[in-house]
C-alpha cells in the first residue's frame, strides 16, 4: 500500500513534542507494523532515529520568520509537490496527517481519483483562545468566514475524517455526515515510556512551552500552599518560551526560588528520566486539544493532575489515573497535589492503572492498527 501524506505535518521529528512527534510516531508505527510505503511531505524533518526505509520524506522548506505565513506558503508548495508525485507514482490513498483541515489538494480535481483521509484533527472552542490572549475577537471574526469556507469544502471532499476526541467528532458532525468521522486518539510509545514504581519523594513534574495558555502561573501559585504542607516538595518545570521571565519573577515574588526549578528546553531522551524521577505530573493548561503529557504520564506509571480541557478529560479517568481540576484554579491544583503527596499507596495505584490503560488503548501500535483498518476499509 502506497500512501501520499500531503502534508504529513508542518514538521516531523522524534526530538520535539506535540504535532511533530505525533507525525513521526504514527508514520513509524504504520510503516514498521504493516506493508505501508509513505511519501511524506513536510516543511522540516529532524530525527535522532530515522524513519523506516519505506518512508520517503520530502522536505518543502519555507524559510521566513512569520509562522502563519510560512504555513500558508508551505501548503501551496505541498500542493505542487503532491500533484507531481501523483503524476509519477502509483498512489493508493492520500492522507493529511496533521494540521488544520484546510487542504487545497482536497479541492483539486485530480485528488478526486484517490481516497482522501484527514486526521487526526482537533477542536477547541474559539472562546478558549480569546480567554488566553492567543487570539482576540476581532481576529477570530476576520479569519473565521473564509477559513471556514475552505475547511467545509475540504471536509466535504474527504472520504474519512479521523477525530482525536469525541468532542471533535461532535463538533464536525454539525457540518459533515458523522458516519464518515472515526474517533482514534493520539498515542504514546509504551516502549520508550516504560513503567517504574513512583519514587517516595515529593517531586512534581510539569512540562511544556512557557506560554500563557499552558497555565503555569496557576501551578506556581499553587506551590505556595503545597510547600506549606510539604516543605520537601519541588516543582521541576521543563520547557521554555515567552512567558518564562514572567514565571521566574512570580517564583521570586512568592519566595519559591528553591522550590521551583527551571530547566529550559530538555531533549526528549532526558524527558524520560524526569518522568521516572518524579512522583506525579501536573498540567495546568488553559486550553488543550490533545493530551500528550497525560499519555506519557500514564505510560510511565505516574498519576497526572490536569485541567478540565478537551484533551485531558477524555483521557484521564478522574480519581483512577489522576485528577481533573477546574481551569485556572490554583487552590484546586494545590488540593489535588497534596492529596497525592499524602497518600503513596494512592499514587502507586493510580500509576499502575494509568500504565494498564496506556498499553491497552494508547500505545502507538494499537493506534496504528486502527489507522490501518481505516486505510483498508476505503480501498
The least confident of 75-89, 206-220, 283-297, 363-377 is: 283-297
pLDDT band at 242 (very low <50, low <70, confident <90, very high): very high
pLDDT over threshold 50, residue 214 = yes
pLDDT band at 282 (very low <50, low <70, confident <90, very high): very high
Q: Which of 85, 135, 83 has its CA nearest to residue 109? A: 83
pLDDT over threshold 80, residue 132 = no
- Enter the pTM of the model: 0.90
pLDDT digits (tens, 9 = 90+) for 304-321: 999 999 889 999 999 999
User: What is the share, in percent, of the chain residues with pLDDT greater than 70?
Assistant: 94
Considering the chain, what is the average pLDDT of its residues?
91
What mean pLDDT comes out for the span 210-233?
96
CA gap 66, 206 in Å, rounded: 29
* Confidence at residue 112, expressed as pLDDT on a 0 to 100 scale: 85
CA gap 26, 20 in Å, rounded: 10
Instruction: Delimit the domains of the chain by residue range.
Output: 2-187+364-378, 203-361
CA 99, 207, 59, 193: dihedral to nearest 10 degrees? -100
Give the helix ranges, DSSP H, for the chain.
18-33, 67-88, 104-107, 126-132, 137-156, 166-172, 216-229, 244-253, 268-277, 292-300, 310-313, 330-341, 344-357, 364-378
pLDDT over threshold 80, residue 25 = yes
Greater confidence, 360 or 108?
Answer: 360
* Confidence at residue 65, expressed as pLDDT on a 0 to 100 scale: 86
pLDDT band at 123 (very low <50, low <70, confident <90, very high): confident
pLDDT over threshold 50, residue 289 = yes
* Confidence at residue 144, expressed as pLDDT on a 0 to 100 scale: 52
* Confidence at residue 273, expressed as pLDDT on a 0 to 100 scale: 94
203-361 to CATH, choices 3.40.50.2000, 3.40.50.620, 3.40.30.10, 1.10.3470.10: 3.40.50.2000
* Confidence at residue 129, expressed as pLDDT on a 0 to 100 scale: 43
pLDDT over threshold 50, residue 140 = no
* Confidence at residue 66, expressed as pLDDT on a 0 to 100 scale: 85
Domains 2-187+364-378 and 203-361 share a fold: yes
Give the bridge partners for 234, in sequence order: 203
CATH topology of domain 2-187+364-378: Rossmann fold (3.40.50)
pLDDT digits (tens, 9 = 90+) for 49-101: 999 999 999 999 998 888 888 988 999 999 999 999 999 999 999 999 988 88
pLDDT digits (tens, 9 = 90+) for 149-194: 788 889 999 999 999 999 899 989 988 999 999 999 999 999 999 9
pLDDT over threshold 80, residue 370 = yes
Amino acid at each position: 500500500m502506497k500512501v501520499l501524506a500531503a502534508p504529513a505535518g508542518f514538521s516531523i521529528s522524534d526530538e520535539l513534542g506535540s504535532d511533530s512527534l505525533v507525525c513521526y510516531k504514527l508514520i513509524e508505527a504504520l510503516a514498521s507494523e504493516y506493508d505501508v510505503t509513505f511519501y511524506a511531505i513536510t516543511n522540516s524533518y529532524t530525527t535522532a532515529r530515522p524513519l523506516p526505509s519505506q518512508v520517503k520524506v520530502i522536505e518543502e522548506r519555507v524559510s521566513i520568520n512569520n509562522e502563519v505565513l510560512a504555513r500558508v506558503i508551505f501548503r501551496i508548495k505541498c500542493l505542487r509537490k503532491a500533484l507531481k508525485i501523483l503524476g509519477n507514482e502509483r498512489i493508493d490513498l492520500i492522507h493529511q496527517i496533521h494540521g488544520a483541515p484546510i487542504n487545497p489538494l482536497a479541492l483539486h480535481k485530480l485528488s478526486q481519483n484517490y481516497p482522501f483521509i484527514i486526521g487526526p484533527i482537533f477542536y477547541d472552542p474559539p472562546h478558549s483562545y480569546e480567554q488566553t490572549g492567543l487570539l482576540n475577537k476581532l481576529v477570530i471574526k476576520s479569519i473565521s468566514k473564509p477559513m471556514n469556507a475552505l475547511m467545509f469544502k475540504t471536509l466535504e471532499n474527504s472520504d474519512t475524517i479521523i477525530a482525536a476526541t469525541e468532542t471533535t467528532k461532535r463538533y464536525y458532525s454539525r457540518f459533515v455526515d458523522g458516519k464518515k468521522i472515526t474517533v482514534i486518539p493520539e498515542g504514546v510509545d509504551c516502549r520508550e515510556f516504560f513503567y517504574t514504581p513512583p519514587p517516595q519523594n515529593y517531586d512534581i513534574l510539569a512540562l511544556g512551552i512557557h506560554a500563557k495558555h499552558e497555565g503555569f502561573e496557576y501551578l506556581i501559585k499553587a506551590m505556595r500552599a503545597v510547600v506549606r504542607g510539604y516543605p520537601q516538595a519541588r516543582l521541576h518545570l521543563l520547557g521554555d518560551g515567552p512567558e518564562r521571565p514572567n514565571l521566574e519573577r512570580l517564583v521570586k515574588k512568592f519566595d519559591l526560588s528553591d522550590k521551583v526549578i527551571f530547566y529550559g528546553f530538555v531533549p526528549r531522551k532526558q524527558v524520560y528520566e524526569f518522568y521516572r524521577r518524579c512522583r506525579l505530573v501536573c498540567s495546568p493548561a488553559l486550553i488543550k486539544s490533545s493530551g500528550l503529557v497525560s499519555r506519557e504520564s500514564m505510560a510511565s506509571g505516574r498519576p497526572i493532575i490536569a485541567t478540565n480541557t478537551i484533551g485531558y478529560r477524555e483521557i484521564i479517568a478522574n480519581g483512577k489515573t489522576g485528577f481533573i481540576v477546574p481551569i485556572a484554579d490554583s487552590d484546586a491544583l494545590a488540593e489535588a497535589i497534596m492529596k497525592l503527596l499524602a497518600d503513596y499507596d494512592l499514587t502507586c495505584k493510580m500509576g499502575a492503572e494509568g500504565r494498564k490503560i496506556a498499553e491497552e488503548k494508547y500505545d502507538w501500535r494499537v493506534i496504528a492498527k486502527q489507522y490501518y483498518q481505516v486505510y483498508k476499509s476505503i480501498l
